[in-house]
Every structure is written in C-alpha cells, then in structure tokens.
Amino acid sequence: MKSPIEHATNLAIHYGHKLERPVVYTQGVSLSGRLRLHELLPDSEDPTNDIKLLVAEHAADPLGIFTGSEGTANYAGICWADELANATDDDSYLDLLQSISDLFGPSVEAGPLDPDIRVEDFFFAATMLGRTYLSTGDSKYIDLLAEFLLSADTLQENGLWWHCKASPFFWGRGNAFAALGFAEALTYLPEDHPSRDELLHTHLLHLEGLAKHQDESGMWHQVVDMTDTYLEFSATAMIGYSIARGLREGWLDEEWRPIADRAWNGIAERISDQGELEHVCVGTGPLATLDEYVIRPYTDGLDDRGGAMALWFAVEMARLEAGV
C-alpha cells in the first residue's frame, strides 16, 4: 500500500488546480492541501506560482467574489489565503482572508450561520475565523467562533450530531463536518481561552461516539449508526483528519492512533493512481426523512469533495508519521 505522502503527491496531481466561481470550500481545501504538501516536501515542485495565478482574479477583487447569494460554504473556499500569504510573503492574501471572515459576523444571531444548527457551519466558520484570529490577533474572530460552537445543542446522548434541527438524522458527512469543525477550532483556540475546555469536552464526546461506529474496514457509513448503509469516503477522510490533527496537536492521546490508522487504510484502499475515489456522497442539504439519507446517491471517480479531504488527510497523516 502507498504511504500517506505518496497518496498526497498523487492526489495533488488531480486536485487543487481550479478555483471557479462561485468559489466553494472543496476547491479551496484542495489548494490548501497542495501548499501543505510542498511545505512538508520542500524539494518537491513548488505550486505557489500556479496557485497565485488560479486565485488572482479573486484576490484582486475581494468584495466582488460573492454576489450576496452565496453562503458559508462559499466563504470557506478562501481557506488557503493564510497559507498562500506565508508562501509568498504577501500580506494582501491576509487582507482577503479577513474581509471574507468578516462576512460571518457581526454576531451569531445577525450573521449567516444557520440558526437551525447545520453542522456544515462548524467547519466553514472554524476554518475561516480561526485562521483570521491567528493572522490578526483580533479576539473577536475566535470569540465569535467559540460562541457559535457553544450554542450548538444538537449533539445527542449517543455522541452523534444531528445534521440540523430540521433533519434529526446522523448523516455521515454531517458528523464529519462537526468533527472537522471542532478540530479546526481547537487548532486556533488559545490554550487559555475560557471556552476551550468545554469545546474540547464536546469534541471528545463526539469522537468517542464516532469510534463506536467505525467499520472494521476503517470506514464510516453514510448514516453513521446504520451498518447497512454504504461506506462513505468523504466522511471517513474528514473524521480521520480530525483524529490525526488531534494526535499531532496533542489533545488526543495515543489510544486514538489505531483508529486514525484504520481510517487511513480504508481511505488509501479507495484511491486509484488516477485520483479516482469510491463512494463519495453527493452534495446534500438537509433532508426530510431518514430514508432520503439512506438512498442518497454517491459518485465513483474524480470528485472534488472527496479528493480535497483525502488530500488534507494524507498530508496530516504524513505530518503525524514525520512528527512535524
């Protein structure tokens, strides 16, 4: 089986080479993944100039990227900006990051975050607001993020999140968005932030709930607690990344390593040399019935959702193995 760094190198050939309008998180994560891979392998071909060209029209017109009809999934498509700023020493990308993060405000109630507590927003908010806090030092960004995550009240006694209040079902990628969002938040949240302990406790409850439902293949199911639903690629990559990040950052202990390794093995077996993937659930908003989640279609082959998250997961596992 190929190593994480070998899979990351392969995935970076097939993903992270476009940023279309409307900008969306999947393509943004892939750009970030290419930058992270080069940081880990500095002797590899540098993607920086290519990515600068891909994002040039967006960086030149930060107020024109979005027309007003887009939402948080689109805003998170700028999640590469701080990494590109670091790679180029060009702070204009940080200005872009901040201008887009400002769209998440001015408050939980008055901004675009869904009051129905859609778990996708956990990730979209965390990856942007956390980065902006780190680059600006302005606590309003991390405080808004913490307030939003603390307001989320749909984690159930079994340790799993509903997709949202209107869809009280344990969708695989929905739970993966929750895990990924908390992992991103904890990456940026200061150790002495008054909300950190409570948010970490919630995150651990969730991961413990997820661990109970990991398939022997290492994968998680389309509906987490229904073993007769299909093994879903994107959820496994995102959950695996969240665990690998926690191990690398130190808020998870080594007992979680086998769970991350099993998740990686499951993902690695489902990536072809051509970057094709197996069983990536299609785009999914809140659905009215459990059966709609059960029968939700999936794609096989090239897929931006799955490819982006697999690239992040592969690089994170490579970082974990390298101890960096």
**CATH code: domain of residue 102:** 1.50.10.10
Instruction: Identify the three-state secondary structure at position 59.
Output: helix
> Could you tell me the pTM of the whole model?
0.98
Residue for token pair 């879903």: 232
Per residue of the chain (324 residues), what is the pLDDT tens digit?
A: 799 999 999 999 999 999 998 899 999 999 999 999 999 999 999 999 999 999 999 999 887 888 888 999 999 999 999 999 999 999 999 999 999 999 999 999 999 999 999 999 999 999 999 999 999 999 999 999 999 999 999 999 999 999 999 999 999 999 999 999 999 999 999 999 999 999 999 999 999 999 999 999 999 999 999 999 999 999 999 999 999 999 999 999 999 999 999 999 999 999 999 999 999 999 999 999 999 999 999 999 999 999 999 999 999 999 999 988
Q: How many domains does the chain have?
A: 1
Nearest to 119 by CA among 94, 91, 152: 152
Q: Where are the beta strands (DSSP E) in 184-267?
A: 220-221, 231-232
Rounded CA-CA distance 136/95 in Å is 9
Beta bridge mates, 161 = 155
Nearest to 2 by CA among 252, 243, 317: 317
Radius of gyration over every alpha carbon of the chain, rounded to an integer in angstroms: 18
**Domain region containing 234:** 4-322
Rounded CA-CA distance 223/56 in Å is 39
